Amino acid sequence: MQEYLEWQELTQQWSKSLSKARIKEAVIADRMNSFLKGNGCLPTMQDLEDVEELWRIHVEHRTALNRYVAEVIKRNESK
């Protein structure tokens, strides 16, 4: 049961970080589209820094999730 709870926590962190990065990325894309069509403003450098940080966090969560999967596989290989 403990493994399942750990798995749930890791997958929730991964999923939330992915969602946040994708949303921020979509905001940037929308602003670029509007600007290039001549009816909006450009995203800011801060927007770019923010999305890079969100993707960095996402990769950290994905790495933790992958490590956990590998640990569970190793623990259960000999069973």
DSSP collapsed to 3 states, 8-29:
HHHHHHHHHHHHHHHHHHHHHH
Per-residue pLDDT of the chain (79 residues; tens, 9 = 90+): 888 999 999 999 999 999 999 999 999 999 999 999 999 999 999 999 999 999 999 999 999 999 999 999 998 997 6
DSSP SS3 for 2: helix
pLDDT recorded at residue 7: 95
All residues at 6 or more sequence positions from 33 whose CB lies less than 8 Å from its CB, including other chains: 40
- Residue labelled with tokens 């069973």: 79
Can you give the pTM of this predicted structure? Answer: 0.87
Nearest to residue 15, comparing CAs of 71, 65, 68?
Answer: 65
